[in-house]
Chain A
């Protein structure tokens, strides 16, 4: 088993810079998730680690070995593709054993390893079938089996669940988590689905436009996003934002107000904030609650009643649209005026460059 280190990794296609200097350390046995919107470079980064894309600049270490120019087969990695990429003309047995066959593993050892992988993934009954005769979930299982059997140091997953239906996705997600616990291998997982990221990861790497926005544990990212992008990307439903101005500063915090927020006291320690500064306030939909004396007032435009909670879409005076997630079932009418109390201890503020002021 081995960790992984990326030192100022860069990738350019002609003039286009796709990955702009990524530094990252992945510990041995860690489950790291790369997350970000489409086109942020997360798949490219994974493919560079796999050796399917050349590294334009920087250094990639797998274990202690510099792997920039090492062939994929010698990097001791295995990869699971979004489209599974099973060899359609081979049976499941041969698909799983293909890598071993190429490595000229003796037949009996090969057979034992294939059956062991099949046992782990509970697919012994599928070994004689061709990929065309399998369902989506079974194909994904075979693809994972093909990775396991090589006993790699690092597993790479490229959006492995995005072709599965919702129910199967949840099951397979749990299986991957279990697999990680059982094998204890280093895993790098690319997804645009933040639920997958939050549930699977030891460490999430949020990427946008080829730049690492923040690295941290899921809860860290949720509670203390480093910037506006991470705040908006992590958490579902999305965090609400409003422009505010600093009214007063004292020892315990700041008081801010704006068009949508009236005299909200935030218990945050501030350095470098002056009265009159323009900031962005971020409040999670779950941190809003209906209160008669609330400081945030809006009109209901849409409600979604889920039974255990109610998602309310409100329009604030400035025209901004906020979401509030209220516990329990509420019957609210469209156009009704509501005032909310914000849980200020969990609120975040960002300076005019979008960087978080809460540390």
Chain B
């Protein structure tokens, strides 16, 4: 196929733009993580004088009584549990919405959309959490993440469930499946492409969430990784080498998740379900 000059130029432009927006900042982070305090304070794009990565990492991890370790444990717990809950709950809601048509569907869909559009109010939420004795606890934080992200996950799932032929449910029912069997053994496995999308999008989002843990999860014991960034920033002095080492460390897990699952996003799981 002949590639026109215009599309070739367009391709280069797109690659160049991506490089500037995504790769250069990341290179800057890596370079900064290798520098010592004096050089990093210049905040320029220079080659590091000497190799300081390991001492920076050690310094970052042990700061404030190994807060980084606690933060990683907390963030991992919050991310894994809330993403699991999100996937199961969102797929269930999507399944029921797609399969059972009632006159309430319109209202339910409106509420889901409202959840997506209307920003949550922080102070009333804190009152509510305090009333429920959930404020400042990990499980409270998990519930918040599930609630905030549920609408988006439901919308992702619902459209896909509508494409799964209803006869599959019926065949399973005839085979003796109870509703939960139908969901967990037939529907959920078939949703894998959407589930992967959900895992990637939501886990990166929740792991990288800064504001919600800041509001709803105060206290040193409850630190999440994004909040550890505050350790090296203050009004008068900022250790830029440590700050960027910190950024580098907490960027790695989402990057791994993304690279691992990105290759697994394979559609076509329903091929062969019906004639085709």
Interface residues of chain A, those whose CB is within 8 Å of chain B, are 50-52, 72-73, 77-79, 81-89, 98-99, 102-103, 130-134, 136, 139, 146, 150, 163
Contacts beyond the supplied A87-B168, A88-B272, A136-B275: 20 A-B pairs with Cβ under 8 Å: A52-B170, A72-B173, A72-B174, A77-B174, A79-B170, A83-B165, A83-B273, A83-B275, A84-B274, A84-B275, A85-B171, A87-B172, A88-B273, A89-B192, A99-B175, A102-B177, A102-B181, A132-B271, A146-B171, A146-B175
Q: Which B residues are in CB contact (< 8 Å) with A79?
A: 170-171, 174
Which residue from chain B places its CB closest to the CB of A52 in the assembled complex? B170
Q: Which of B177, B270, B275 contacts A88 (CB 8 A)?
A: B270
* Chain A CB within 8 A of B176 CB: yes
In the complex, which of the residues B176, B273, B275 contacts A103, with contact meaning CB atoms closer than 8 Å?
B176
Residues of B165-219 whose CB lies within 8 A of A: 165, 167-168, 170-177, 181, 185-186, 189-190, 192
Given the known A-B contacts A81-B167, A81-B171, A134-B272, are A87 and B186 also in contact in the complex, defined by CB atoms under 8 Å?
yes
* B176:A99 contact, CB within 8 angstroms: yes
Q: Nearest chain A CB to B115's CB is how many angstroms away?
A: 31
With A83-B165, A89-B190 in contact, is A131–B176 under 8 Å at CB?
no
Partner of B274, one of A78, A83, A89, A99: A83
Please, could you name 19 A-B residue pairs with CB atoms under 8 Å apart, sorted by A? A72-B173, A72-B174, A77-B174, A82-B167, A87-B168, A88-B190, A88-B272, A99-B174, A99-B175, A99-B176, A102-B176, A102-B181, A132-B271, A132-B272, A134-B272, A139-B275, A146-B171, A150-B175, A150-B176
Give the size of the chain B interface in residues (CB under 8 angstroms): 24
Contact (Cβ within 8 A) B175 A131: no
Q: How far is the CB of B204 from chain A (nearest CB, A)?
A: 26
> A83 contacts B167, CB within 8 Å?
yes
Residue contact A85 to B167, C-beta cutoff 8 Å: yes
* One of B175, B189, B192, B271 near A102 (C-beta < 8 A): B175
Q: With A and B bound together, what is the CA distance between A73 and B177 in angstroms?
A: 7
Interface hub of A88, A132, A146 (most chain B Cβ within 10 A)? A88
Q: What A residues does B170 contact at CB under 8 A? A: 52, 79, 81, 85
Q: Which residues of B contact A83 (CB under 8 A)?
A: 165, 167, 273-275
Smallest Cβ distance from B189 to chain A, in angstroms?
Answer: 5
B16 touches A (CB below 8 Å): no
The closest CB in chain B to the CB of A150 belongs to B175
* Known A-B contacts A52-B170, A79-B171; A85 and B177 likewise in contact (beta carbons under 8 Å): no
A50 surroundings in chain B (CB, below 8 A)? 174
**Assembly CA distance A81 to B172 (angstroms):** 12
Q: Which 10 A-B pairs have the closest CB atoms?
A: A132-B272, A73-B176, A99-B175, A131-B272, A85-B171, A85-B167, A83-B274, A88-B273, A132-B271, A102-B176
B269 interface contact, C-beta 8 A: yes
B174 touches A78 (CB 8 A): yes
Nearest to A164 among chain B residues (CB) is B275
Within the assembled complex, what's the spacing in Å between the Cα atoms of A163 and B274?
A: 10
B168 to chain A, nearest CB (A): 5
Contact residues in B for A103 (Cβ distance below 8 Å): 176
